[in-house]
Each structure stands twice: as C-alpha cells, then as structure tokens.
Homo-oligomer: A and B are copies of this chain.
Amino acid sequence: METGPSFVPLYQQVRGILLGRITDGYWKPGEPLPAEPRIAEELGVSPGTVRKALDDLAAAKVVTRRQGRGTYVTEHSPDTALFHFFRVVNAKGHRSLPDCRELSRHHGKVNARERKALDLPAGAPVYRIRRMRPMEGRDVLIEDITVPATLFPGLIDGRAPLPNTLYDHYQRAYGVTIRRASETLRAVGASDSVARHLGLATGHPVMEIHRVAIGLDEKPIELRITWLATDDFAYHVELE
C-alpha cells in the first residue's frame, strides 16, 4: 500500500503557490515578482523559506534572478529558446544556430501518433507546419510541427510568416510557456520527401528526432519531428 508523505515542507507549498500564480498569468513573463521580504510577509513565512522556494523555481528556469534588480518570471527570447532546446553542433563541435524557411502549413485532425504524444481527444483539430532550418547556409534540417488548434487559435491563419523561434512566440502571443522537452532519437533511411528536401539519396542515413514539448503545468504542448542530415552536423548531449 502506497502512503503519501507525512507532511509537505513549507517551502514546497510556497513554491507551489508562486508557480500557480505564474501558471495562471497573475505574474506574466518578463514581469518582476515582489521582493522576497514582501512575499514572505504576505504569506506569513520566513524570508529564508521564500528564498528556498525561489531558488527551486530558478533552478527549473521558471524564474530568473538578477542580483541588484529582482526576480523575474522567465521570458523566452529567440536566443534562450534555441540555447535550451536546440542541441545541434557542427563538425567542430561548436553550437550552430539555424535559419528558417517555411515549406507548408495546414489545418487537420489529429492522427494516432499525435493523439498519443499530445494526449488529445479523437478528431481534435491541429495545425501542422513543415519548415526547413538551414544551418550555415545548407539545407540539413527539416521539421514537422503539430500543435493543438485550441491552444493556439489562428496561429497559422495570418499572412505573415511565423517567427524563426516558436517557443517565445507561443509565450508572447498565447501565454503558453514551454518548460521542458522530451526527445527520442533514431537513425533512419531518408524518405523520398525528406531526401528530396535535404538533397540526399532516398535511404541515406538521417537522424529522426521526436520531440514532445511540455508546458509549465506538465501537459504536452507540441509534437515536433525533425530530420537531420548528420554528415556535417551532429546532435550533442551532456549526461550528468
């Protein structure tokens, strides 16, 4: 028989309260939180307890602390979004950042794979976007993005092209913050379509990456399937 913890530490309760206010949009990305002593007296706990809660949230990148200025709700920028979630390096092992060229966008209904990854009901409407992400001027990376239409109404209905980095756009335009992502990598032979876009022979080995991006509330937000030609680039991970 499973028994829960006999008590919940105060600082974890405080962390939950603060996270709730951020998730609910009471404090918005880029905004400063009240000073630590202010939060402490409001909640009736010691400043040290608030500090520990904020340290936890800072470690999870939910808030960003800046000495002498204050504690801010973390705001994705094009740079931070790429820095946290883009792990491709060039032949020298140096981080390299992609450009962007949109290939197609469609309305549709979830297929089986998307349903499973995004935990959606059958028939739920989705948007699908296919983009080329050239690296150092070469077409080596292509990605298929699927998001629930209900979360991002009108995302692909405008005439303007979508921004290069979507996660900061999700946050700014829809209040949806990506907190973390889960990636599954395989080596596959390039399909006709992928091979054509990447200038390879059909069946040439490419890396296929399934990414599910998870929001502040731990719910899946986006499914992204990437194909990367690893002849001149590679995927890099630090295991700690």
A residues adjacent to B (C-beta < 8 A):
60-61, 84-85, 87, 89, 93, 179-189, 205-208, 228, 230, 234-240
Interface of A, secondary structure class, is strand
Question: Which B residues lie within 8 Å of A84 (CB)?
Answer: 239-240
Copies of this chain held together in the complex: 2
Complex Cα distance, B208 from A234, in Å, reads 10
- Expressed in whole angstroms, the minimum distance between the Cβ of A220 and any Cβ of chain B is 13
The residues of B that contact A205 with a CB separation of less than 8 Å are: 187-189, 205-206
Residues of chain B within 8 A (CB-CB) of A206 are: 187, 205
Q: Smallest CB–CB gap between A62 and chain B, Å?
A: 11
* Separation of A85 and B184 alpha carbons in the complex (Å): 15
Residue in A85, A207, A239 with the greatest tally of chain B CB atoms within 10 Å: A239
Knowing A205-B205, A205-B206, A206-B205, say if A239 contacts B181 (CB, 8 Å). Answer: yes
